[in-house]
Amino acid sequence: MTSTGHAARRAYPTLASKEAESLDRDRRSLLLASSIGTVVEWYDFFVFASAAALVFDRVFFPRADARNAVLYSLMTYAVGFATRPLGGLVFGVLGDRFGRKRALVWSLMLMGLATISVGLIPGYATIGVAAPTLLVILRLLQGLAVGGEIGGALLLVTETLPAERRGFWAAWPMMGGAAGNLLSSGMLALLGFALGETAFAAWGWRVAFFASAVLIGIGVWMRSRVAESPVYRAYVERRRVAGAPRLGPTLAAHWQSVLTVLLVKAGENAVFYVFTTFYVIYVTRVLQLTRTLALEAIAVASVVEIATIFLSGAWSDRVGRRIVTAVGLLGAAVWAFILFPATASGNVAAVMIAAGVGGMCHGLIVGGMSALFVELFPTSARYTGFSVGYQFATVVSGAVAPLIGVALLNAYGSTLPVSIYAMAMTAPGLVSLGLCDETRGRDLT
């Protein structure tokens, strides 16, 4: 009797420890699967943006003068934003109807197909106007795919893991943008260094697009192994009993939440592309510094941003989502006026440090807003509501930010109008944060 009791007492801790190990393993798998998928999708999206800023003008628009060729190249990059709201709507509806996991796998596969195909397009010298035409079509498919990515990845994590650290958990998929940017700029910098300018412009940039095949395969395999979120599974059970709520009326009832997502995201997106894509153009075309230095600066900014996203996500769990997001928006608005004068001398250290501070400001915004956006919506419309507001914002801000920056620079010969533009884009987001309720600790069910 006594020995049996001792044996039972010894067995219980073992059983509990095995359960804890299993939970930790499942948690790690979920965080890794959601994160690597967003990293891959944003790698694909940003490798196009970086290539557009560096080589597409010569490959696809060789007959235009240098200044217009850069604008045309950036326009092919910008059209990808046109289909992001459609992608958010399509994959949002699929995710709310059929599950977060399925929508995520489908979006990742579509992105991989489009990105690899970009690397296969012959240049203008080979097939003429068909080259930029195919480039635009594939960019539209990229936009469609990425439109459904971040909402699903974020929901899968935040609907599964404990609520008290939701801001920190949300940082994992949200760091995919910075990590994808780091990976793409690192890949292009490595290829440029290894191959030299001539070979890189002729064919080397294509290798970065072909590398997506390996990353996509890993991402799809990992995502197929994770379970659907328990919040969504519980919602499906309720739906079987009570019937599915109509999506249109549900979204209409939460129009203020959609607007909040749109305005905050618009400010965040505008400063991001001013601090990255336009900054690359400024460093290489205005300061006449090397492409390698510009890409290294963006890599530094991405590393700083990744760390900041995790720290600010955890900070939002303590002080609230709104204050962290607002601090980031205010910091970015101020830094937009310091960034360019601080690097005007062409000093290498100044270029690196300035890019790093920009990454920190942007990371603060992302770390604060991520959980906020999830907590604003009910389960029945969370994927769609998040994605629609989020992706429409990218059209009115991210799509045009580099174009507006180049146009203002060409028109006024100064970066001051670019800084004013960045500051103006953050103002509506700050107002919307002041008007919305704090969501920290909100029950997602």
Question: Can you give the pLDDT at residue 275?
Answer: 93
The 3-state DSSP class for residue 159 equals coil
Question: Can you give the pLDDT at residue 100?
Answer: 80
Question: Can you give the pLDDT at residue 12?
Answer: 45
For the stretch 40-67, pLDDT in tens is 777 877 787 778 777 888 888 888 777 7
Question: pLDDT above 70 covers what percent of the chain?
Answer: 92
CB-based burial, 197-236: b 16+ in 10 Å, e otherwise: eeebbeebbbbbbebbeebbeebbebbeebebbebbeebe
Annotate 207-260 with DSSP letters as a single string. HHHHTHHHHHHHHHHHHTTSPPPHHHHHHHHHHHHH-PPPHHHHHHHTHHHHHH
What is the pLDDT averaged over residues 149-172?
A: 86
CA distance 202 to 184: 18
Lowest pLDDT segment from 42-46, 147-151, 245-249: 245-249
For the stretch 284-318, pLDDT in tens is 889 999 878 888 898 899 899 999 999 999 999 99
Domain spanning 33-238+253-435 has what CATH number?
1.20.1250.20
Q: Which of 200 and 361 is assigned the larger pLDDT?
A: 361
For the stretch 344-396, pLDDT in tens is 999 999 999 999 999 999 999 999 999 999 999 888 888 888 888 888 898 88
Question: Can you give the pLDDT at residue 244?
Answer: 53
Question: Can you give the pLDDT at residue 351?
Answer: 96
Question: Can you give the pLDDT at residue 367?
Answer: 94
The pTM for the full model equals 0.79
Report domain extents, the chain. Answer: 33-238+253-435
